[in-house]
A and B are shown apart, each in its own frame.
Chain A
Amino acid sequence: MTDDAAIKQWFIREVLPLERDLVRFITRHCRDGADVLDLRQEVYERALTGAQPNGLRSTRGYVFTIARNVLIDRARRAKIVSFEQIADIDMVGYDMDLSAEDRHMTARDELRRAMLGLEQLPPRCREVVRLRKVEGLSIRETADRMGVSHHTIERQLTLGLRALTNFMLGGEARINRSTDATGVTQKAER
């Protein structure tokens, strides 16, 4: 249990702040944008599986080595190898620079970022998230106030939560509707 807590701490403090660079790295080597989320998740999974937070000298080096391996494994599975992608992986991994300020946001930055992310959500989703985060309303209360079903609010909230997390970690506040039959990714309105 304590081990799990330590790993969780390490994951939140050291791995998640790398997300923006990690996603950029994966995107650069992955032509199919739809795979990025799966690849990112696989990197996190492997990072957690092999994690020994105290024995690590560089979380950054560790995470990007894993990312490189994940990309190579994927290229192998794909059978049609674009050598170019793999060739670059070796060199690119090192030259990415990240300033310390970028990694750890202050409370003020966090607030500013959260406000910006909120603004980018579609109007209805934004209102649901605002009522939860700012006014502290429950799903039931929000549903009553807006006059829609519990289920609708729950769905908007989960979508908003995912989009806002993406944004807080340096990505875009995109709504990702996984369970829609179409599977279309809708860009948040500005």
Chain B
Amino acid sequence: MSPARDIEQQAAHWLVAREQPGWSAEDARALEGWLDDSVAHKAAFWRLEAGWGAADRLAATRGGVPIAPAPHWTKAPIWALAASLVMVCMAVLALWHFTANEVDAPAIRVATAVGVHRQVALADGSAVTVNTASTLRAAFTSGQRQVWLDRGEAYFEVAHDKRHPFVVFAGGRKVTVLGTKFSVRRDGDTVTVAVVEGRVRVEASDPATAGRAAIITAGDVAIARGQSMLLADRSEQRVQDALAWRRGVLTFDQVTLEQAAHEFNRYNRRQIRLGDAQVARLRIGGSFEATNIDAFTRLLHDAFGLRVANDSDGVTIKS
């Protein structure tokens, strides 16, 4: 049985008894004694006293006084309407701008440092968010839209254009899209493509070996290494979770601490090292600030009682 519930019931008894005609000085002393017994008694009694006292207003309804209903209707703010109109106008202008001039812009190169992510607008109206420690090049010439992910990870929101496919080259893979939202990540020789919206085609970039192409859609993840490719049908929520880095957050769903540490190490110069195999196998979940190692390790300490040792270039976690 719940101890708090018992105490609450006792407190309610005292409170009700105190309101009765027969309440004596002796009773009052007994109540004092009960309250002094423990802080828990005080907390429960004061709480009920305050709540029950607030309900004293009910006495006002004696004889049936009507109560005006609470005003529910609030005026729609004019400025909000105006603001949305302005946004629509801007969107229309932008659309007109992108369709009006054929894309033919100079190549660009974006490189990010550890722990930084950056959003870049491309000449065709697409947007790319470049994750930590990544390098990306883009070239839009004679109607071709081509991007090379040399290292790291990027998230693409591709402006729709049927006539000009948007192509991303990453680690021997070629990802072709018309208009969609997806991310591409390189991790050594592994390339991972995750689709948030629409469809993309993933194939080997070398035409000689481009035997099989895979079409993946929203919620899908393709993991390619060497000649092989694994297609995982994940939920859209999990794909979104995997893209939480755009908000500076890492989201884990029951991954091993080893995998989690690997993720953190992409975002920080200070590295997390695991002291033993037992720690590495521990499974965790949750959302964390990508660049706040201290908060993460403190939680490991709080929740699992793991030992956290800081040194000059990182943190070592032991069981």
Contacts and interface: CB of A to CB of B under 8 A. Distances in A.
Interface majority SS (helix, strand, loop, mixed), chain A: helix
A63 to B, nearest CB: 12
Interface size on B, as a range, is 35 or more
Interface in B56-85: 56-62, 67, 70
B287 A37 contact: no
5 contacts: A111-B67, A114-B57, A159-B12, A161-B12, A168-B54
B285 A87 contact: yes
B48 to A, nearest CB: 5
Contact of A83 (B3, B52, B285, B289): B285
A178 B2 contact: yes
A161 B52 contact: yes
Interface majority SS (helix, strand, loop, mixed), chain B: helix
A157 B4 CA distance: 19
B286 interface: yes
A82 B19 CA distance: 46
Contact of A88 (B43, B62, B287): B287
Nearest to A73: B302
Contacts of A115: 58, 61, 67
A165 B51 contact: yes
Contacts of B40: 41, 45
B55 A168 contact: yes
Nearest to B302: A72
A91 interface: yes
Contact of A48 (B43, B60, B299, B304): B43
A15 to B, nearest CB: 9
Contacts of B287: 87-88, 91
Interface string A124-168: 000000101111101110000000000000100111011011101
Contact of B295 (A38, A90, A138): A90
A44 B302 contact: no
Given A48-B39, A87-B288, A183 B1 contact: yes
A108 to B, nearest CB: 8
B189 interface: no
Most central of B6, B8, B43, B48 by chain A CB within 10 Å: B43
Given A115-B58, A164-B52, A165-B51, 8 more contacts: A35-B2, A45-B43, A83-B299, A110-B54, A114-B54, A114-B55, A168-B52, A168-B54
A81 interface: yes
A16 B55 CA distance: 15
Contacts of B15: 158, 161
B284 A83 contact: yes
A133 B302 contact: no
Contacts of A168: 51-52, 54-55
B303 interface: yes
A100 B299 CA distance: 32
A40 interface: yes
A62 to B, nearest CB: 15
B2 to A, nearest CB: 5
B2 A34 contact: yes
Given A41-B44, A91-B287, A114 B58 contact: yes
Interface string B1-29: 11111111100110110011100000000
Interface in B253-295: 283-289, 295
A176 interface: yes
Contacts of B118: none
A169 interface: yes
B306 to A, nearest CB: 11
B50 interface: yes
B234 interface: no
A84 interface: yes
A56 interface: no
